[in-house]
Amino acid sequence: HMPGAIVAELADDQIPQGAVLLGHTTQEGVIALEGDSAGVEELCALWEGVLEGVYPTDPGTQDEPVPVISWQGRSPAVFTQQVGQPRAIIPVFPGTNCEYDTAAACRKAGIQPEILVVRNLTPQALQESADALAQAIGRSQMMILPGGFSGGDEPDGSAKFIVSFLRNPKLTDSVHDLLHRRDGLMLGICNGFQALIKLGLVPFGEIRPTDDSCPTLTFNLIGRHQSRYVATRVASVNSPWMLRSQVGDIHQIAISHGEGRFVAPQEVVEQLIANGQVATQYVDPCTGKPSMGIHCNPNGSMACIEGVFSPDGRVFGKMGHTEREGAFVGKNIPGNKYQPIFESGAYYFR
């Protein structure tokens, strides 16, 4: 026989001609062969244990439960102007790599995306890019900071280039005009979330200086990059970005980051929860409950926080790549991968 190329699990009446039967699946969680058996969990532990000391798969966090956050109140934010199809400006910084997926998600939701490449080869090109971005923000209803590794996440941490660029007074004024005078929205995913939180846009709703008392995103507890699907639960709908979601909705979302651990002083975390600003939590896909175990919480975030709103909900930052969704994406991952954040943003402007 030729070596097998595909291992498939099928019903008894669906086995194709020429297939070789390897065995039968059971509910017991064991592999049995010729009278001997071994538990799947035991075998997985042996398999992972070979290199556990070199490439750890568990940072040692306890699989302790975390309170489930549920905030039912809807955001009072409304769009008071008239617009046909809402426009979204998507700036591309050196190292950004999710702009195409983000633009596709916008189009699918009925949002017209505009991608603007920030050029940094010369000081003049950088100034021209700042002027162009300020103009683009002025003709847009939302601004979306996509994922990537801006500036190669160097030196010493992520999003520094984006943060420095958007602290340009002209761009700061443009962002504040969008959010505070034109009823606009802002979204940051992964690297974009890192920029939002270091600018102060989440959780404060404005670009401001930050210090050690402010929340931040830091290195994953496991000490390296995590790239996989996680389950997240909607904890609050206190934002226009959640108009099409309900508290308790669970989604399977792709993540890919090395600095996604949300940390803040305990009193700040409690205040965010009390204000309905904790948007989403990492949860166990089987129970729907948050847990600090790495199988649920990939980075060790406090309170299993995956996403955060500004006080009025207009600004939303999250680590998970909601834009990486489609009919042929993650076909082998069970669960609901469609999270209607972009659709909610479009609906807000109707």
Task: Tell me the per-residue pLDDT of 223-278, one tens digit each, with 9 for 90 and over.
Answer: 999 999 999 999 999 999 999 999 999 999 999 999 999 999 999 999 999 999 99
- Encoded tokens for 300: 């060790």
- H/E element, 113: strand 112-117
Residue given tokens 């190669």 in the structure block: 152
Nearest-Å Rg of the Cα atoms of the chain is: 22
Residues pairing with 217 in the sheet? 262
- 12, pLDDT greater than 90: no
Task: Tell me the per-residue pLDDT of 267-311, one tens digit each, with 9 for 90 and over.
Answer: 999 999 999 999 999 999 999 999 999 999 999 999 999 999 999
Side chain identity at residue 276, one-letter code: G
pLDDT for 59 equals 87
How does residue 63 score in pLDDT terms, banded at 50, 70 and 90?
A: confident
**Quick check: helix, strand or coil at residue 283?**
strand
- Number of H helices and E strands in the chain, helices first, is 9, 13
Using alpha carbons only, give the angle 319, 320, 321 rounded to the nearest 5 degrees. 120
Are the C-beta atoms of residues 112 and 342 closer than 8 Å to each other? no
What does the alpha-carbon distance between residue 92 and residue 73 come to, in Å, rounded to a whole number?
Answer: 34
Domains and CATH numbers, the chain: 87-348 (3.40.50.880)
pLDDT for 18 equals 83
List Cβ neighbours of 92 (8 Å cut-off, separation of 6 or more): 99, 115, 116, 117, 118, 146
Residue given tokens 């920029």 in the structure block: 195
CA dihedral (340, 244, 190, 223) positive or negative: negative
- H/E element, 191: helix 191-199
- Encoded tokens for 74: 């809807």
Task: Tell me the per-residue pLDDT of 177-221, one tens digit each, with 9 for 90 and over.
Answer: 999 999 999 999 999 999 999 999 999 999 999 999 999 999 999
Q: Please state the pTM of the whole predicted model.
A: 0.91
Catalytic residue annotation = 190, 321, 323
Are the C-beta atoms of residues 308 and 327 closer than 8 Å to each other? no
